[in-house]
A and B are shown apart, each in its own frame.
Chain A
């Protein structure tokens, strides 16, 4: 039988029995829609979970401190080793410029960024408000290298400018304010001038007060929420911090000899962080990575994948059984028709190709309906869930981001799946009916 003739016959036959076909296709529609909604929900949840976890930039970051050999302290030190310059154990590994090159050569490392904290206590003031945030000198011109993104302005630092963390404005308060008074709205610091007042105590502290130094910083960018240290930090160019620390120490600092007090190593992928940290430790430095966090994050990913993979598989199975059931019934009740076709001269192959074609056609039609309904259902659930979550969201917390997501591949997969299940579930009853002795098929009740 010519394939065109076959396809024409199949669609004619389906067209002649619209009500019956629609009824049979309903089973396919429900199964397919269930698969689409459930898998979309899984994908959506995983995506939002990934977004939440991924936004913690520190997952791809390793904090590296100088190594002090066997005798060195296990604890993290904020300040660089004292002004002695050199001295100490010979197996000391300082974060010199040379060391930076060594680190950047490690596999998976995309950026090596020196970090230096201000060694002077400092108060930041802005229009009568006061704030205390840690000030970090950063050895890169673009904070984007640290996996940060800008909320407003730029992340490219220049001399006498600062890029501030998302929550820095919240740390400003009015010193004249009494306890019971409500806190004012956090100031909008973008493009504003901050005044940094540094203090140091010189000599034996016998003087009447500290020496002060005032520095002006213009805020040129605010970092988007990172859920990490960056949210509470003020970043300035490394040279600016070096100048401050040289003022505090009263001497010049040689990076080639003394190195940096810490270095941020950025790796390409979360999965590499632990491995690279181990390599850095082997080199003799101290490497810190939020590893327990990474491990539990990986566990959560695995559980999420297992749960939604499982739900998807179960819904596929249920859908397949439902489709097979309706298809079997639909073909069984046409056994007499098959007997008649054979009586007027149809071969087994004729019958089989017509009935399998119709089964696949019903699967296809039901698949289209299921994908449409599943997609629409997902959108409706999205809207409802969003409305619910917005109502539930705590004040100042992050906006809800759970969303059903139906990718194109899922729709195509569901369509192919429905067609295939239709075809496969038609196979057994069609084969059975096609090979019946015509008289037996004709007498079938």
Chain B
């Protein structure tokens, strides 16, 4: 049985790179507006699971279902379109575009979704205010600190009002104080907007910002939401 009312769910995912299985029967689910932490030792398959959930890589077997549609049944173009319209991403190192200013970076996903420049930058600024980095609008990513850049990245992920934000070690490069603040702002904004968050982290204090946690060990995860 699959978890009732879930937005995104994965069942029995397997993925092998060469001889090593990265995922070996992983299951997962997240409900709308829910923040779920994915925890586990290094190399256990957390990032691989996140990439499968987001349709960035295709598992060898198993299913990922988003809003009732199976990702593997979509074409590459459909999956990219879905990622642009419904998903947001935050990684360990902000991965902002160095040539663009911070506000242009935050506006970028909106622009890619066809929003006009002025409107996109207005929305981008609102999100930068919420993340307390509106003063950095005109700076380029090379001119801001790691913690500030990470807040800009969170604003960029949330600006297009995605249904799901995927965050892979979003505080990994930050000290405790900045890491906590980024988590506070990310979870608060996501909860207010009803956005689901899949949060990969090996830090318990970061995971404690989530509603619940799923542990991955040796490529296997058991989601307690799944009644066996």
**A and B associate:** no
